[in-house]
Structure 1
Amino acid sequence: MILDLFFPNRCLHCNRIIDAHLLVCNLCFEHIHFTHYTYFEDNFIKEKCKLLFPVENTYALMQFEKENVSRKIIHELKYKSREKVGKILADWTTERLDFQNEKPDLLVTVPLHSKKLKERGYNQLHLFTETLSEFYKIPFDHELIKRNYYSQAQALKNKENRLETENTFSITKHISGKNILLIDDVFTTGNTLASIAWEILKAGDNKVSVLVMAIDV
């Protein structure tokens, strides 16, 4: 296409010209630190979540380290209006995540407040989740959880403010007896996920698992 000639797609890490459907070149792809977690075994996220709420299974696609490629990828998705990055991350996830014969019943995303959604124009988790839903044949619900207050991004908060998640979320409908996979972009303290998880657990005889695009180590 003409646009590709004048505005070629470039690797977001090294700036080399790459195919239009790629995020990074082959060389930079090798520098992405995938976690190699398995969904059913103990891992770093599971140990952290267990301190905050009862969790079944956990998975993270990448490590979110300072100045690494995965951090740049997540920032492109969240702050550079590149919603389609979510689909690429989902494709990388489906290549690595095996639910075996114990698929979750429902995929649920961490919601944005309506004000933040209007500012950004999209929830960075939706396309990611919808792509997973189509691949694994698991339904999703973007409306199950409501964010009650507009708040600063977790990454911009100091440690004390990150703990202020009480009553931030509420559940919008009755749900019981479900194994719910809660999806977020980056695992930091786990407090946001914990706040949502307890709403789901209080709602009925539910179980909660966690999937994140990256874990901040």
Structure 2
Amino acid sequence: MILDLLFPNRCIHCSRIIDAELLVCDICFSQIHFTHYDYCENNPIKEKCRLLFPVENTYALIQFETESLSRTIIHELKYRNREKAGKVLADWTTERLDFKEQAPDLMVSVPLHPKKLRERGYNQLHVYTETLSAFYNIPYDHHLIKRNHYSKAQALKDKQHRLDADHTFSVTESVTGKHILLIDDVFTTGNTVSSIAWEILNAGDNTVSVLVMAMDL
């Protein structure tokens, strides 16, 4: 309580004092560009994913524009030790995302390499995923996918290349016949989710859907 008085929580955009659990004030909230995509229908992220791998459904919460509040929010989460931003983003997601009759069986977030996890201190996707899991009553698994290399994944051009490549990710246990929701922070080229999706698809008779906090168009 004393710390709240001495160091009140402030809007990350305009610095107004706000409730401890919030990221932005009501005025700045209107500047966030939500996508309003339909998870079960065609949308820009589904079109991009389909160029890379067979995808079931897709959803992106916000647009990731240059010099935007949306970008600031993601950067606060990833690089400025604002892990609680994941909870806020998840709450915004549950207010907008309807799985309808196509809910996944399992939620899986993109893993960090152990070295990166030690450097950052947390995986920015874990609180987000866990909050969604509790709301939708869908289990999650933080250990199903393993990141094998510390360096960034390189673009894989075709399916044969994907099968032959020294995989950046691997599936750690047997999984088959599951509809898996793959969760990431920002969708740009799609190389990361594509690499993981192919590992899941090749592991058994699985289907993959994609959920991202933000999409960089």
Q: TM-score range by the shorter chain?
A: over 0.9
C-alpha displacement of 1:101? 2.1
% identity of equivalent residues: 73
Distance 1:73 1:147 in 2: 25
Does 1:130 pair with 2:130?
A: yes
**Structure 1 residues 58-137: aligned runs within 5 Å:** 58-137=58-137
State yes or no: 1:215 paired with 2:207: no
Query: What is the match of residue 8 of structure 1?
Result: 8
Look up the match of 1:44.
Answer: 44
Partner of 1:163: 155
- Contact kept in structure 1, 2:111 and 2:146, CA below 8 Å: yes
Taking the aligned partners of 2:93 and 2:151, their CA distance within structure 1 comes to: 29
CA distances 1:78-103 after superposition (whole Å, capped 9, x unpaired)? 01111111011000000000011221
Q: TM-score when scaled to structure 1?
A: 0.94
Superposed displacement of residue 16, structure 1 = 1.2
Moved more, 137-146 or 14-23: 14-23
What do the CA deviations read for 1:97-146 (whole angstroms, capped 9, x no partner)?
A: 00112210000010000000000011000010000000000000110100
1:32 equivalent in structure 2: 32
Q: What corresponds to 2:159 in structure 1? A: none
Q: For the residues of structure 1 that align with 2:126 and 2:18, how far apart are their CA atoms?
A: 26
RMSD: 1.2
Give the Cα–Cα distance (whole angstroms) in 2 for the partners of residues 204 and 105 of structure 1. Answer: 14
48-57 vs 98-107, greater mean Cα deviation: 98-107
Structure 2, unmatched stretches of 5+, are: 157-161
Question: In the aligned structure 1, how far is the partner of 2:26 from the partner of 2:82?
Answer: 20
Structure 2 CA distance for aligned equivalents of residues 18 and 84 of structure 1: 15
List gaps (5 residues or longer) in structure 1: 153-160
Give the ranges of 4+ consecutive aligned residues of structure 1 lying more than 2 Å apart after TM superposition: none
Contact 2:40 2:102 in 1 (8 A): no
3-state SS of 1:200 partner? helix
CA distance in 2, matches of 1:63, 1:162: 24
TM-score norm. by structure 2 comes to: 0.94
